Chain A
Amino acid sequence: MAHAPTRPARARPAVYDALVVGGGLVGCALAYGMHPALADIAVLDEGDIAWRASRGNFGLVWVQSKGLGMPAYARWTLHSAGLWPTLAARLLEETGIDVQLRQPGGLFPMLSDAETQARVKFMQALHGQPDMPSYPWKLLDHKEAAELVPGLGPAVQHAIWSPVDGAVNPLKLFRALHVALARRGVHYLPRCPATTITQGDDGVFRVTTPQGVLSGRRLVLAAGLNNRALGEQVGLDVPVRPQRGQIIALERTRRLLDIPLNTLRQMDEGSWLVADSQEEAGFEDRLVGLPVLATLAERAVLTLPALRDVRIVRAWSALRIMSADGFPIYQESPTHPGAFVATCHSGVTLAAAHALELAPMLAAGALQPTVSAFTNRRFHVQKA
């Protein structure tokens, strides 16, 4: 039975200026940023049940962990964090939705000497890299950390603090982007997964979906884990694999915590999120693994003992889109000019850079040197 199509406010053009495949945080941020430089944009999305990394977010706007092995990533991330207030203000103005950006700094807690040593070593290696952008970070002892986190558990001997970190409400961000797209007349087409993609001699891309064929002068693949298969059709090698992360959500409490930790935060409306895990579990995001939740819970209680009798109201898992080295891939196809791929596992942190820096490049039709580190050519260096 045919689905009733969502009726767009603008008439559907014969050929769009750009087709964005993927309606998650990356796709929506890019579509948002390409408009109004490009007038006719369509965002193709799957159905309600799909891998949907964008609904499984912790929501950090996080800098301090990023870039070991690629200082350019640290620079890109820091730049995005700096652009974030602009994005948040624009979304508020356009949609009335406050995405609750807070950038008060962030903490990475360590619960044992081994963790402290490993983390300090990591941070020193990270900041010792040539071309690494400089930003403040500090190793805090328990007493200093407890000033930022009242009631901090004694098990947290040390924490790494950086003032450049923060967080946002990722679901409000997602909704704000969708509302902004609708307001701007960008066509959001749900239940339109791309099956085949071809490029004609005229350079126009034709994307086949269950609801018909769509044509666009530019193609942006932002389809998360599906980028791999779709990329193959347009000469793009996108080595991504799923990496599962599990998160626990706690009931609302009165306000206790203003500073985000990478493992624990209190949302603007009072509920809590506990994170996170990294599991190579294949394409299984339905099962919630009890042992992982138990470890997450134990560490959360060690971090903030007062949470012991606060209730878990739900737990979920989502699949991160992990590239071979963990860094983003922004690439134009060498064989199908006008086809681009954009993938990362930090769709929230990078949303500002995506919307305000990368999207204009895509609209203009060429990636700039600032993102040249993120081409997939880096994966081919090893090939003999």
Chain B
Amino acid sequence: MTMHARCDLAIVGAGPAGMAAAIEAARLGLATVVLDEQAEPGGQIYRGITNPPLHDRSVLGSDYWHGAALADAFQRSGARREAGATVWAILPGELDDGAGPSSAPASYYDVGYSVDGQARLLHARHVLLATGAQERPFPIPGWTLPGVMTAGGAQILLKSSGLVPEGRTVLAGCGPLLYLLAWQYLNAGARIDALLDTTPAGQMWRALPYAWGFLRSPYFAKGLRLLRAVKAAVPVVRGVDALQAQGSGRLESVRYLARGAWHTLPADYLLLHQGVIPNINLAHAAGVPHRWNDDMACWEPQVDEWGATAVPHIGIAGDGAGIAGALAAEHRGRLAALEAARALGVIDAQRRDREAAPIRATLRRATRGRAFFDALYRPADRLRRPEGDTIVCRCEEVTAEQVRSAARLGCQGPNQMKAFLRCGMGPCQGRFCAVTVTELIAQEQGRSPADVGVYRLRFPTKPMTLGEMASMPQTEAGRKAVVRLQK
């Protein structure tokens, strides 16, 4: 019988939510392990913060460097971090863990994860998912061409490797990250040929300064100045209604529709961004109920004000619980850690509430005006619901027309769609097609996305080798179910 490593609290992800939660949990005396996929803490938003390649701090902007203090506190907190750890399952513990039958039912989880191609299990009494967000799919014709990347991906190249595109570069989409990247590129002296803004025309310039002022989130405290700096130095095209990446084997040009006219720009790199959506796969496979957030056109886990879910001892904090930004993520991480301590009986509810009060006040300020802000940046329908030959499922190369015609045939939902067309069956496990498939079925059948539903996910939520699975502990009952000597 394999001896598991044990802890009180397992945190998945070392972004702002995970780091803040770990600091808080360690302070409260919980034996805490953070399982992080990346080599260094910081998540995506503070990627590279502990080993920054750039000496010139002004390139990224001061709000990025806020992460340094957080990462530093995290590394001194006493919480143990496992780097390069990809979590693929969270399983309720078996009653008999080899120590003999318990008098009380075991209440713990086996968190299955891999480091360097070796599968391991972490025995945890409470699990906090802080897996953050991912770029929303941006299914335009040609979005799979080499040379087309996400703006977030380009930002990672800048933060962790000091790389900027050389050649004709077009940014396209909507939302603050796109403008932030443009500003960072200007600081770095990188070339930007155009920024194609797909925010539905008429809304953006009127409301944007107010939205950012309203938010007063540190990333955007200087938002207006940032916006003006970008506008002054980069050709910004507003009201872009349609977008195409063109090329043979590689991106060669970007075609866009603005004010009723099509234009073509030669391009070597197209950096796309239309917001981020929560990473739901692990939570969904763990049995956490999810709901469709129509304002933000994405799936979200159902959590309470502590990040607690319907599944006992599984909580969610940060953008993975619903998009609210990096600072909100920290505060929610701390609240989730307080709740974990209460759920584990280490502190009582009164102490939890008392210590939470100032955090809640800060969280309220960090999320002020969020609903208005999110509605403003809701990506245009046309850019979320492709047609024709546009690829919907990148892994299995399933097109929008294939999905639409199956929907017209009466296909029930994403799971039957998956069975029919294989969309969602590739290694990304639907991360880049789930929302699109749900929305296309909804549109074709005149139903709401909430009604249509989402792919049903199961462990392992990240690929792992057959050999790794073979190294996991077996049970007598399991063997009997497989090795059948009677039939």
Contact = CB atoms under 8 A, between A and B. Distances in A.
A49 B469 CA distance: 27
Contacts of B478: 277, 289, 291-292, 294-295
Given A310-B466, A312-B463, A313-B427, A286 B412 contact: no
Nearest to B418: A55
Interface in A279-312: 279, 286-301, 307-312
Nearest to B285: A288
Contacts of A279: 481
Interface string A89-122: 0000000000000000000000100110011001
B447 A48 contact: no
A265 interface: no
Interface stretch (B295-303, B342-350, B384-392, B448-456): B448-456
Contact of B447 (A3, A52, A248): A3
A251 B453 contact: no
Given A122-B487, A294-B474, 11 more contacts: A1-B451, A3-B447, A47-B453, A49-B413, A178-B410, A178-B420, A188-B410, A295-B474, A298-B474, A311-B464, A312-B465
Interface of B: 89, 91-92, 94, 110, 112, 117, 287, 409-410, 412-416, 419-420, 422, 425-427, 429, 445-448, 451-453, 456, 458-460, 463-467, 469-475, 477-479, 481-487
Contacts of A293: 469, 472
A127 interface: no
Interface string A247-260: 01111000000000
Nearest to B475: A291
A317 B484 CA distance: 18
Given A286-B458, A291-B478, A312 B466 contact: yes
Contacts of A191: 412
Contacts of A309: 117, 465-467
14 contacts: A4-B447, A47-B412, A47-B413, A178-B410, A188-B410, A277-B481, A291-B472, A291-B477, A294-B469, A294-B470, A294-B472, A299-B482, A308-B466, A314-B429
B109 to A, nearest CB: 11
Contact of B466 (A174, A301, A316): A301
B310 to A, nearest CB: 13
Contact of B483 (A45, A115, A300): A115
A60 B165 CA distance: 51
A291 B410 CA distance: 38
**Chain A interface size, under 10 / 10 to 19 / 20 to 34 / 35 or more:** 35 or more
Interface in A213-270: 248-251
Contact of A290 (B112, B410, B479, B484): B112
Contacts of B487: 65, 68, 122, 278
Nearest to B121: A290
A295 B413 CA distance: 32
A48 B473 contact: no
A190 interface: yes
Interface centre among B448, B463, B465 (most CB of A within 10 A): B465
B463 A313 contact: yes
A296 B92 CA distance: 20
Contacts of B414: 48
A6 to B, nearest CB: 4
A296 B479 CA distance: 9
Contacts of A68: 487
A313 B425 contact: yes
A274 interface: yes
A84 to B, nearest CB: 20
B486 A190 contact: no
A315 interface: yes
Nearest to A179: B409
Contacts of A75: none
B426 A313 contact: yes
A163 to B, nearest CB: 21
B470 A288 contact: no
A278 B486 CA distance: 12
A132 interface: no
A49 B415 contact: yes
A184 interface: no
B458 to A, nearest CB: 5
B473 A291 contact: yes
Given A3-B451, A307-B466, A290 B91 contact: yes
Nearest to B410: A6
A122 B412 CA distance: 42
A175 B458 contact: no
3 interchain residue pairs of minimum CB distance: A48-B413, A291-B478, A297-B469
A171 interface: yes
A289 B325 CA distance: 35
B454 to A, nearest CB: 9
Nearest to A171: B419
A14 B59 CA distance: 72
Given A182-B410, A291-B475, A278 B481 contact: yes
Contacts of A118: 485-486
